[in-house]
Amino acid sequence: QAAALTPAQAKAFTPKFVKFVSDDGVSGLTPATLAAIPPKSFAAISNLDALTDVNTPALTSAQVNALTAAQITALSTTNDDSQYLSKAALVGLDKKNIVGLDVTKVTDEQFTALTADQLNALTTVANGQVASLSETQVELITAAQAKGLTAKFIGAVEAGDVSKLSAAAITALTPAAFAGLTGNISGLNADNIAAFSSAQVNSLSADKIKALSAVDNAIENLSPAALAGLDKKNIGGLDVTKLTPEQLAGLTVDQLNLFSTTSTAATANQITGLSVEQAAAITVKQAAGLSAKFVAALASDDVAALTDTAFAAIAPKALAGLPSAQLVGLTSGNIALLTSAQVNALTSEQISALGDN
C-alpha cells in the first residue's frame, strides 16, 4: 500500500498522520514519495529506523535539517542508514543536529562533502566526534575544509591521526587554527612539518615549540620560511641542537640574539648548546650583528670554529664582551684578521689572553 502512495499525496502528509505509519509503510515508501513529505511531517516519523538503503538516498536537505540530534543518531546507528544520505541531504546537517551523527559511519565521499562549519560543529570533548575520526577521514580533509577549521577542532584530533593531515591541508590552516595544536603536536611527521608556514610557526607558544623540538626530525624539517616565524615570544622553546648548520645560517641575526644565555628549569642555554658545526655556519652578515651577550656566551670551541671572515666581522663592542677563556681558543687565522678597532676594544687582560695562543 505504501508503495502505491504518490508524491502528490505525500505533500499533504501531516505530522499526526505519519506517526501512525507502520514500519512496513515507511520502508515501502518510494524514493519520490519520501522526498515529497514536508520536512515538519518527516521529522514526526517515529520509526526512522524503518528507512532503507533504497529510499534513504532520496531524503532532502530540508528533511534532514528538520531532524533532531537524537533522530540523526538513530539514523546513524540503525541499519547504518546515514551512509546512504546524499551529498545534497548532508547540507541539512547543522550545529543543532550534526552532534548526533556517528562519524564512524560516514563514507569517504560524504566526509569530503561536509563543510568546514559542519566539521567545526562536531563535538571536541574527549572521545567525541573529532577524536573518533579515522586516519583515513583525517587524511581526506581538503584544503577548502582546512581553511575554515577552528583551533578547537585541530586540538581535538587524536595525536595518532594528526600526522595524516595532508601537506595541502596543513598549508591551508589559518595561524589561529594551527595554534590549536596541543599534545597532539607529538603526532606530526616530517611531511606535515615541511609544510608549516612562517605565520603558523609564529602562532605557536614557546612551550609548543619545545614540544615540537621533541618530535623526531621535526626541527630539521622546518623550511627556512617556517623558521622565520620564530621570534622573541617563542624562540626560547627551540632546541637549537636540532637545527642543521644550514638552518642556523638562515636565521636572522635578530633571532640569534634572542637565544637564551642562561639555563633555567624550563629552557637550556641555547648558545652554549651550539655545536662547532653550527658555529662554523654563522655567516659574515650574522656575525656583524651579534650582540655582546651572544658572543660572550659562546663556548671556546665554538669561538675557534667561527670562520676567519665571520670572526673579523664581529663588532668591536660585541667582541669586547668575549671572556679571556674564550680568547685563548682563537686560531691564528682568527687573530690575524682582527681589526684595529677590535683590538682597541679589548682590555689588557684580553690582549694578554691572545698572547697565550
What pTM was estimated for this model as a whole? 0.86
- Here the cell at position 305 is 670554529
- Here the cell at position 228 is 622565520
Which of 173, 175, 229, 190 lies closest to 206, judged by CA? 229
Higher pLDDT, 122 or 189: 122
Query: Residue 239 in contact with residue 210, Cβ under 8 Å?
Result: yes
Amino acid type, 153: F
- The whole-angstrom separation of Cα 260 and Cα 207 is 15
- Here the cell at position 343 is 683590538
| pLDDT of 266 higher than 70 | no
- The whole-angstrom separation of Cα 194 and Cα 32 is 50
Q: pLDDT value at position 323?
A: 85
- Here the cell at position 187 is 603526532
- The whole-angstrom separation of Cα 270 and Cα 297 is 9
Q: What are the strands, taking DSSP E only, across the chain?
A: none
Calculate what percentage of the chain has a pLDDT beyond 90: 78
Q: List, as one string, the DSSP characters of 25-86.
A: HHHHS-HHHHHHS-HHHHTT-S-GGG--TTTGGG--HHHHHTS-HHHHHHHHHSTTGGGG--
Higher pLDDT, 330 or 158: 158
- Here the cell at position 161 is 591521526
Query: Residue 153 in contact with residue 128, Cβ under 8 Å?
Result: no
- Here the cell at position 289 is 650583528
Split at pLDDT 50, 70, 90, the class of 82 is confident
| Window from 90-99, 102-111, 153-162, 299-308 with minimum mean pLDDT | 299-308
- The whole-angstrom separation of Cα 293 and Cα 323 is 11
C-beta neighbour count of 356 within 10 angstroms: 9
| pLDDT of 109 higher than 70 | yes
Q: What is the pLDDT of residues 185-205, one digit of tens each?
A: 999 998 899 999 999 999 999
Query: Residue 91 in contact with residue 119, Cβ under 8 Å?
Result: no
Q: pLDDT value at position 267?
A: 61
- Here the cell at position 3 is 508503495
Higher pLDDT, 202 or 267: 202
- The whole-angstrom separation of Cα 271 and Cα 262 is 9
Query: Residue 113 in contact with residue 142, Cβ under 8 Å?
Result: no
Query: What does residue 230 show for φ and ψ, rounded to 5 degrees?
Result: -75, 130
C-beta neighbour count of 85 within 10 angstroms: 26
Higher pLDDT, 119 or 260: 119
Which SS3 state, helix, strand or coil, does residue 18 take?
helix
Average pLDDT, the chain: 92
- How far CA 107 is from CA of 55, 88, 134, 351, in Å, comes to 18, 14, 11, 75
Split at pLDDT 50, 70, 90, the class of 167 is very high
- The whole-angstrom separation of Cα 211 and Cα 259 is 17
Split at pLDDT 50, 70, 90, the class of 328 is confident
Mean pLDDT of 99-121: 96
B/e letters for 122-142, b = 16+ CB within 10 Å, e = fewer, are bbbeeeebbbbbbeebbebbb
Amino acid type, 342: Q
Q: pLDDT value at position 335?
A: 83
